[in-house]
Amino acid sequence: MLLSCDLRREFQELCTGCRVVICCRVSPIQKAEVVELITSSTKAVTLAIGDGANDVAMIQKANVGVGISGVEGLQAACASDYSIGQFRFLKRLLLVHGAWNYRLAANFMGMERRIFTTPVFWFGLLLVPVTTLLVDVLFKLVQNTVFKSLTEAVRESEIRKHDPDDVMNATRSSFTETARLLRSVFIRRANTRVDTDVELSHGYAFSQEEGGAVSQTDIIRSYDTNLQKPRGN
């Protein structure tokens, strides 16, 4: 069936004169032409329902498009105004949800114009951005003022024309004993005599971890066996 110019009027009269019209073996373009013909000639609201990709053009031409998400994919559901799981849900969609939406649309008609006249809308429009950004600005202000990073501290010292080495030395001396030990565990380096003396002064003999700061061999070598052992009480 091709809807040429000389057949459009006859086909439109045939469709409007029958209660049910079944079109077999039609292409997606022909489905869309049938819907467009009925919509333009009768000036009525048309509804098209489909479940496959070949129904997308018909669904988009109709005033109301309903897609069935099923075995043939989600192309029709994505291109439709409403999506249902099965064809039997169409009655509930039209007679239940359609009536509710029609009633709600009548109640809320003109509400978008009334909202611009309320002071609450303009107060919230100005207050909400300020309150949401104020917390972030205060947090960053306190963080950059009290808890400065090393880069920010060096830049501030350069702006004030101070020596950046003072900031570096103060940062190095601020490490606690726990931070020093954790750093020695994760950063493995060669042990020197100075490192051994530092560990001995803190009372640590050796570590069972593979990345320990001082090995047992270094402790034994640094122990002077010529000295007399202290006697216990």
Per-residue pLDDT at 129 exceeds 80: yes
Mean pLDDT over residues 192-214, rounded?
53
Per-residue pLDDT at 118 exceeds 50: yes
Domains of the chain: 5-86 (3.40.50.1000), 119-174 (no CATH), 176-225 (no CATH)
By the 8 A CB rule, do 171 and 150 touch?
Answer: yes
Distances from the Cα of 78 to the Cα of 45, 88, 91, 131, angstroms: 21, 19, 20, 39
By the 8 A CB rule, do 48 and 65 touch?
Answer: yes
Per-residue pLDDT at 204 exceeds 50: no
What is the pLDDT, as a whole number, of residue 127? Answer: 86
C-alpha to C-alpha distance for 232 and 230, rounded to whole angstroms? 7
Per-residue pLDDT at 178 exceeds 60: no
Question: What are residue 26's phi and psi, to 5 degrees?
Answer: -110, 155
Dihedral angle computed from the Cα positions of residues 158, 160, 163 and 164, in that order, rounded to the nearest 10 degrees: -40
What is the pLDDT, as a whole number, of residue 212? Answer: 52
Please count the residues of the chain: 233
The per-residue pLDDT for range 158-168, each reduced to its tens digit, is: 887 877 777 66
Mean pLDDT over residues 137-144, rounded?
81
Mean pLDDT over residues 172-185, rounded?
59
* 67: β partners: 50, 83
Spatial neighbors of 44 by CB under 8 A, at least 6 apart, are 38
